[in-house]
Amino acid sequence: MQLFEVLLFLFVWLVLLLFTFKKLESPRQLILVLSGVVIITSLHSIFEGLRWQMLITYLMAVVVSEVAIFRLITRPRKKISKRWLKLILSGLILVSGCLALAVPWLFQPITFADLTGTYHVGTLSYQWTDPNRLEDALPETKEPRTIMVKVWYPTDETEGETAPYFEKSEPFSKSLKEVMGVPSFLTNDLKRVKTRSLASVSLSDDKQQYPVLVFSHGFMGYENQNTFQLEELASQGYVVVAINHTYQSVASIFLDGSVHYFDQRYQATDVTKMFEKMDALNEIWLADSRFVLDKIEELNQQDPRFSNHLDLANIGMFGHSFGGATTLQALLVDDRVKAGINMDGALYGEERIPSTGLTKPFLQISADQSIKPLEEYTDQELKAAGASRSEQAAFLNEFQARNQSVPKNGNYWLVLKNSNHLSFSDFYLLSPQLFGVVLNSDVRQTHQLVNHYTLDFFDHYLKNKPLTYLNQPSGEYDLYSLRTEKKAGN
């Protein structure tokens, strides 16, 4: 809770208690009460903004005002003399106070942990158009494919404008409600979220060149859905380029302010055709990724901020969900990508991991709930997925077949316990306390684990640092399990 929110709550809660016990009787005291409510509420509204989490406190303020006005115009009044009535009123005030505190505590604006890297972080966005591809979502217009990317990078600057989480939050709230059923009241506060990045500041001159990481979001996600991770990597000395896959993201806002929402034609609802449809769709995302790699090369040649400062010999890629699948495809077909991480993505795409394993470094991080066996699926879960038990069995068989070679040839498969698909994004930061209870885990601890392993992996394969977290034997641990198989001949 913010300063004036706390002051308003304390003021109206204490006044209600005093009213119950025959205090605040004189006209002067009642006028002071009314003035206090008006002044504190006004200051809160002007400097902090009204928000739904404070609704109970606002209702308490209305009750205080009505009681004060009633007492002013109906003097003398009959005092509350029955003890049981005072106890009931006191109990109601106590319960209201607890609820008034609990709701803002449960649903706080997203906050991020302090960065642990040696750099501060800058950020800016680009809009890039690929003249060689038409927009698949708009075949009738014959427009070229246009995407937004957001870049985070190391900086030495400490002053400047803090970048917002969203320049405009309303389109994302609207689309999240329409395509994912997320209530708008949960996401309305995204406009209040402060990141740990400074807008459009200079690149740090500490190093001549910085390795580059490309991030691909999840299906119906957005480019900064993993801000907890993207900013941390930039603070550790990486230039991180995040793609917004237009019309398959929840929303994309171009530089002219136009909003391009998720196109429902891309929604996959038939589990029996899931792999066929998503394999084909992944070709669009793979092409986006390779186009972005081309543009990164241009940045290194022409951009005044990044020219000659990008280490193109050390490019990694990582992604969540469908973006994780895209990462694997890029790793398989594009020599520029040296190492990749898939965070909880089914391995959609046309290419397959060879039976002997990948020849490039690869880390797959899965939620335990995403890889559970068929017998652990409830009827309600299958109904929500629109699948019969036999259809889900067929899907899982293909899912497992595509995953069987993940840890081979010295690569890694990490499974996080008490986690699910959205544990890898910022989503659960909407209410870490509530979702922590639902998942029986610490949301921020999960993010910390993801950051530790992501950084350990890329630091080793792109910066030649020794492994720390991944230098463990395969086995079960308190918070995760790890599988890795030695390279052939080792």
**C-beta atoms surrounding 462 within 10 Å:** 22
CB 221 within 8 A of CB 320: yes
Supply the pLDDT for residue 103. Answer: 86
For β-strands 475-476 and 480-484, DSSP reports them as antiparallel
Q: Which helix or strand (DSSP H or E) is residue 3 part of?
A: helix 3-20
Supply the pLDDT for residue 75. Answer: 65
Q: What whole-number percentage of the chain has pLDDT above 70?
A: 97
Task: Please write the tens of the pLDDT for every residue from 322-363.
Answer: 999 999 999 999 999 999 999 999 999 999 999 999 999 999
pTM: 0.92
Supply the pLDDT for residue 82. Answer: 67
* 210 DSSP β-pair partners: 310
CB 433 within 8 A of CB 106: yes
Supply the pLDDT for residue 1. Answer: 82
Distance, in Å, from the CA atom of 251 to the CA atom of 94, rounded to the nearest integer, reads: 43
Of the candidates 367, 482, 346, the one whose C-alpha atom is nearest the C-alpha of residue 425 is 367
Supply the pLDDT for residue 36. Answer: 94
CA–CA distance from 151 to each of 35, 75, 107, 401 (Å)?
Answer: 48, 66, 29, 35
Intervals of the chain under pLDDT 50: none
Cβ-based neighbours of 40, under 8 Å, separated by 6 or more: 4, 7, 8, 11
List, by residue range, all CATH 3.40.50.1820 domains of the chain.
120-484
Distance, in Å, from the CA atom of 175 to the CA atom of 182, rounded to the nearest integer, reads: 9
120-484 maps to which CATH number?
A: 3.40.50.1820
**What would the two tokens of residue 188 be?**
């309305």
